[in-house]
Amino acid sequence: MRLWALIWQSLFSRRLSVVLTLVTLALSVALFLSVTRLQNAARNSFERSIAGVDLIVSARASDLQVLLYSVFRLGDPINNLSWESFEQWSADPRIAWSVPISLGDSHRGFRVMGTTNAYFDHVLYGNNQSLAFASGKGLDDLFDVVLGAGVAQKLGYGLNDRLVVSHGTVSTGNSEHDDLPFRVSGILEPTGTSIDQTLLVSLEAIEAIHLGWQTGRKLASGNADQLRQAELQPTQITAAFVGLNNRLRIFHVQRAVNSYDEEALTAVVPGVAFARLWSIVGVAEQAFRAIAVLIVVLSILAMITMILTTLSERRREMAIYRSLGATPLVIAMMLLSEALVIAFGGCLTGWLFVQATSRIGASMLQERLGLLLPQHWLTWGELWVLLAILASAGAAAIIPAALVYRSTLADGLTVRS
């Protein structure tokens, strides 16, 4: 028989409180790991959302607002950008390309965005990857629609399926335009960004939807062929993604756009806006993390409390070990190992729990929030956190170990209990 067998026997004899303590610790470890992983995933997926765009130009609004509605399709723009201004700036020699976007409609809860085929060429995501078609191609006809991967999967649409786009962002069902069916011309590869949850149509299509609706009720004239003949030149758009010839001049061009005389415009540098976003979100992130750390600390304290409360009952155990030749130091070490065994078990169980739930939860997160949860086993950062938890459990266990060291010295070999 070895020492670890004695430790195991003793732990097993107190299995109920040991298991409860271990579960407490496991849950707190799981909470900590999940919070960290979700934060990373959120940050990652936000920052992956847009790439290759030097400036976002829109009507006068705050950086963050522009970023949120143009990139994440969150919220609605207050003002639109006039088509004249867009054309004027697109012609500017400093500007290499420009992609207009127009928001404001929805299809069964998913955002519909009007744009041009240039979007697929210029607007990148992640590590400067360009959007790829899983099937089909871009927008040719007025009633063509390109689906994000999430939309196609969630709603079960395939290539050439027909669908109806309703006005506004709320899917009510009864105001849908039965007579303006769109045809799925292409489906994009999944990207893990907001584009997955978006339906892309041409700018003219957005105009066409609105043409029949300008009085707030359905007009009889909404015939598809008539609309194809109609003058559908948009008069205003939501924003424009812009690429520059010389990226070193970003701030120069930004200033020029911001001080444009004809219309009050805002040019946003995505990286700068992201930094501002994180400085705001960062506070909440820190708070979450602090709470998770506190919970881990609490569960370590609970473990020490559990060990401390059993100490007086275990004086006989200690006296017997000592009569068999255990030095007080060995007994203190046994107690320390006990704490480490529980802490290790807690960390392992918590990690396994997170591993299991993230497998299950990943698809739900991607579907509902477009969040790509990283499927890794253990990052170095997480490993350090787990080691830190083990170390603090060990450090905290020095208290009962020291108490036992003293009491076993004083008790000697017999405890009359």
Contact status, residue 57 vs residue 81, Cβ threshold 8 Å? yes
Considering the rule CB under 8 A, would residue 306 count as an interface residue with other proteins? no
Q: What is the footprint of other proteins within residues 111-150 (CB under 8 A)? A: none
The smaller minimum CB distance to other proteins, of residues 4 and 384, is found at 4
Q: Are 27 and 292 in contact (CB under 8 A)?
A: no
Instruction: State which amino acid sits at residue 71.
Output: V
Q: Should residue 329 be labelled a site residue for other proteins when binding is judged by CB under 8 A?
A: yes
CA dihedral 114, 373, 68, 149 (to 10 degrees): 0
| Closest CB 302 distance from other proteins, rounded Å | 23
Among 207, 268, 274, which Cα is nearest to 241's? 268
Q: Verify binding: residue 312, other proteins, rule CB under 8 A.
A: no
Q: Of 2, 127, 262, 360, which one interacts with other proteins (CB under 8 A)?
A: 2
Which of 96, 117, 316, 390 is in the footprint of other proteins by CB under 8 A?
316
In this structure, the chain runs to a length of 417
**How big is the chain by its Cα radius of gyration, in Å?**
31
Q: At what angle are helices 328-369 and 380-396 packed, to 10 degrees?
A: 140
Residue 239 neighbours by CB distance under 10 Å:
26
Question: Which residues face 58 on adjacent strands?
Answer: 239, 266
| β-bridge pairing 236-237 and 166-167 | unpaired
- Contact letters (x/-) for other proteins, 353-392, by CB under 8 A? ----------------------------------------
What tokens does 115 get?
A: 């744009």
Residues 6+ apart with CB under 8 A from 351: 29, 30, 33, 378, 382, 386
In the list 28, 120, 322, 343, the residue contacting other proteins (rule: CB under 8 A) is 322
Strands (E) in 110-224, as ranges, are: 110-115, 124-125, 129-130, 133-136, 144-147, 162-164, 166-167, 181-188, 198-202
- Measured from the CB atom, the residue of 119 and 321 that comes closer to other proteins is 321
Binding positions for other proteins, 330-359, rule CB under 8 A: 330
Closer to other proteins by CB, 1 or 248: give it.
Answer: 1
Does residue number 168 form part of the binding site for other proteins (CB under 8 A)? Answer: no
DSSP 416: -
The distance of closest approach from Cβ of residue 325 to other proteins in the complex, given in angstroms and rounded to an integer, is 1
Tell whether residue 284 is a contact of other proteins (CB under 8 A). Answer: no
**What is the SS3 assignment for 139?**
coil
279 pairs with which residues across the strands? none
Position among 171, 245, 327, 363 found at the interface with other proteins (CB under 8 A) = 327
CB of 326 vs other proteins, minimal distance in Å: 5
Please identify which residue in 6, 51, 96, 390 interacts with other proteins, judged by CB under 8 A: 6
String marking each residue 229-268 x if it binds other proteins according to CB under 8 A: ----------------------------------------
Smallest gap from residue 16 Cβ to other proteins (A):
13
Please identify, among the stretches 43-51, 128-136, 280-288, 325-333, the one whose residues bind other proteins according to the rule CB under 8 A.
325-333
The residue ranges that bind other proteins (CB under 8 A) are 1-3, 5-6, 9-10, 12-13, 316-317, 320-330, 409, 412-417
